Amino acid sequence: MLEIRNLCAAYGGPDVLSSVTLEVKAGETVAVLGANTAGKTTLLRTISGLVARARGSVTFEGTELIGRPAHTIPALGLGHVPEGRHVFPRMTTLDNLKMGAFFHRGAGDIAQRIQRVFALFPRLEERQGQMAGSMSGGEQQMVSIGRALMGNPKLLLLDEPSHGLAPIVVDELHAAIGAINRQGVAVLLVEQNAVLALSVAHRGYVLEAGHVVLSGDAQALSADHGVRRAYLGV
């Protein structure tokens, strides 16, 4: 579904991603683990066309994304939930969700999509009239994920959804990510919380200083000594 080959990316200085090769197959949840500044956010931003200096190949269902204008990428079936959530703070939860379908009008019933989001996150239904900026961090993360789902993505890019959230909220999000995947949406999940990531993912990659240094199925990565020491606190 998503095939990344020899991807390099930079912001003007040296490469932040160096020859990254990675794939996500239809129906999979794939985790990308790595410490601060490993390049995880840059990887997702490059897939979404937000990093101008990219070389190599990123194909999504056979369509090359490198060089493609960023605004044309969501319509191919890619949803991006950015680091930091970036909800529209002065809009209601419901309007934030509707914004997620803005570029996808006519491609399905908006009301049905909203009901799908509410079924995943009942809290959003309860708080649909509340300004998103006044919601808790976890609720804003739900809004951000829900907004991306409103575009009916085939692949969801999730950037650190658990960042800064209480363990009970992290558990809720974890369950929702599993449910989204079971609905047939592939997930590429970037996380510093390796325990969370490996518990929901089928496979994973470890990124260090812009290089993929390890990859494998989630169980094998969870058992790997280096991963356990560096990312699982064992």
What is the binding site for ligand ATP (CB under 6 A)?
11, 16, 34, 36-42, 83, 192
The nearer residue to ligand ATP, 81 or 94, going by C-beta atoms, is 81
- How many CA atoms does the CB half-sphere of 142 hold within 13 Å? 30
Cβ at position 127, least distance to ligand ATP in Å: 28
Of the pair 150, 221, the CB lying nearest ligand ATP is at: 221
Q: How far is the CB of 56 from ligand ATP (least distance, A)?
A: 16
- Contact by Cβ (8 Å): 20, 79: no
Between the CA of residue 222 and those of 10, 163, 189, 206, what are the distances in Å? 30, 20, 16, 11
CB of 37 to ligand ATP, least distance (A): 4
Cβ-based nearer residue to ligand ATP, 39 or 204 = 39
Q: How far is the CB of 98 from ligand ATP (least distance, A)?
A: 29
Q: How far is the CB of 196 from ligand ATP (least distance, A)?
A: 14
Residues linked to residue 22 through DSSP beta bridges, in sequence order? 4
For residues 223 and 214, give the distance between their C-alpha atoms in angstroms, rounded to a whole number: 13
Measured from the CB atom, is 12 or 69 closer to ligand ATP? Answer: 12
| Of residues 93 and 140, the one with the C-beta less far from ligand ATP | 140
Nearer to ligand ATP, 67 or 164 (CB): 164
Minimum Å gap between C-beta 22 and ligand ATP is 14
Q: How far is the CB of 81 from ligand ATP (least distance, A)?
A: 14
Q: Based on CB atoms, which residue is closest to ligand ATP, 36 or 112?
A: 36
AA identity, residue 53 = R
